[in-house]
Amino acid sequence: MCDNVRIGIIGTGGIGKVNARALDANPRGEIVALCDIIPQRMDGFEQELGREVRKYADFGELCQDSEIDAVFVGTPNQVHVPAALSAVRGGKHVMCTKPLSDSLEPAIGLVKEAEESGLVNMMSLSTRFSPESLYLKHQARDGFFGDFYYGRARSVRRSGIPDWNEGFIEAGGGAFRDMGVHVLDTAWWLMGMPKPVTATGVSGAKFGPFGTGYTKFRTPPEEYWLRYNSDDYAGGFVRFENGIGLQIESFWACHMPPEVQVELFGTDGGATLRPVRMFSTDNGAPKDVKVDIPSSWSGSWQNIAEHYIDCILDGVECMSPLRHGLIVQAMLEAVLRSSESERDVLLDELLTID
């Protein structure tokens, strides 16, 4: 086994650079190639890296580069599956930003191929890998919560529709796949990843198609917002095996205060994520439990980069495989389909994978 991972970044926009910086800062990681359809983005990041890297306009070519071991996919949602599939077919380990996909069926095919390949496949999930989530996961493993029976997950922006990439607002984008995915994933993971059974929900677009609700109350050019073809809010409920329930809400824009929150209800304890607060009882009296997140713990991006590299070089079991991204995507898509069909949606009918 070699002692360094040579990494190619597909999509050198906002999230591509954030992940690339963390991967490159890891003593066992090295960015050796970039791919973007906008050459200036690659040039700018190459300058930041301070050394020459190989640059590709076509991710298919990057994935055939024999001097690359692993890739990170940070393109708009619509390109995640084709780029990740190309990586797997080229024999590269693959890490993908959230959401796994713009729709469910292609994502199922990707997960099957990725798992059969034996390569490392991982989701880059900044909320799951945050110190706050990792701390609550430790508490859950130590039995603080008892049995989970209910959760709430919401992500609310007052005026936060992305105005920098049409992928966000076109079909396959939307608030629920962009933001709902973080809190849904984190709540589901902390609750022990129960099997989803049904989902119900409502969704729509009350701001984006009318040119309002964009990031920081800016108004993008009309030709941008006329392309709006996704949700800007969604709310729903997922019912899991054993009667566990999870309420999920996501708003890119609304007349409410901004908030990102996960709330966990267990038979012995409860908690919130932001900030982390923990509640229990002591001899029948309410007890607010002291929260003590070690200040030495690293941030999300460093944790993600280190874990990806540890999985590749040391064979560590991946704590966020693409399969998790797929199950979360299935819940998201089920809520959105429930809104369209005005009925509950059965997860077994959507998630056709062993």
Ligand X SMILES: NC(=O)c1ccc[n+]([C@@H]2O[C@H](COP(=O)([O-])OP(=O)(O)OC[C@H]3O[C@@H](n4cnc5c(N)ncnc54)[C@H](O)[C@@H]3O)[C@@H](O)[C@H]2O)c1
Give the bridge partners for 201, in sequence order: 236
Residue whose Cβ sits closest to ligand X: 13
CB of 116 to ligand X, least distance (A): 25
CA distances from residue 345 to 20, 193, 237, 348 in whole angstroms, order as listed = 38, 19, 11, 9
CB of 187 to ligand X, least distance (A): 16
User: Measured from the CB atom, is 17 or 93 closer to ligand X?
Assistant: 17
User: Measured from the CB atom, is 77 or 155 closer to ligand X?
Assistant: 77
Quick one: which of 101, 340, 320 has its CA closest to 236? 340
Cβ atoms within 10 A of the Cβ of 241, count?
A: 9
Encoded tokens for 62: 């990057």
CB of 226 to ligand X, least distance (A): 19
Quick one: which of 39, 18, 83, 95 has its CA closest to 53? 39
Distance CA 177, CA 133 (A): 20
Is 67 buried (19+), middle (13-18) or exposed (0-12) by CB count in 10 A?
exposed
Encoded tokens for 252: 């890119």
Quick one: which of 255, 322, 352 has its CA closest to 98? 322
User: Measured from the CB atom, is 24 or 36 closer to ligand X?
Assistant: 36
CB of 190 to ligand X, least distance (A): 17
User: Measured from the CB atom, is 167 or 194 closer to ligand X?
Assistant: 167
CB of 306 to ligand X, least distance (A): 16
Give the bridge partners for 287, in sequence order: 280
Strand, coil or helix: what is 290?
A: coil
Q: What is the contact surface with ligand X in residues (CB under 6 A)?
A: 10-16, 35-38, 41, 59, 74-77, 79, 97-98, 124, 126, 164-165, 178
User: Measured from the CB atom, is 77 or 139 closer to ligand X?
Assistant: 77
User: Measured from the CB atom, is 38 or 346 closer to ligand X?
Assistant: 38
CB of 127 to ligand X, least distance (A): 7
Distance CA 120, CA 72 (A): 12
User: Measured from the CB atom, is 64 or 198 closer to ligand X?
Assistant: 64
Q: Exposure string (b/e) for 189-205, b if CB count within 10 Å is 16 or more? A: bbbeebebbbbbbebeb
Give the bridge partners for 247, in sequence order: 152, 237
Which residue bears the tokens 């059965």?
A: 346
CB of 36 to ligand X, least distance (A): 4
Is 256 buried (19+), middle (13-18) or exposed (0-12) by CB count in 10 A?
exposed
CB of 15 to ligand X, least distance (A): 4
User: Measured from the CB atom, is 175 or 190 closer to ligand X?
Assistant: 175
CB of 129 to ligand X, least distance (A): 9
248 in Cβ contact with 238 (< 8 Å): yes
Cβ atoms within 10 A of the Cβ of 184, count?
A: 29
Give the bridge partners for 270, in sequence order: 265, 279
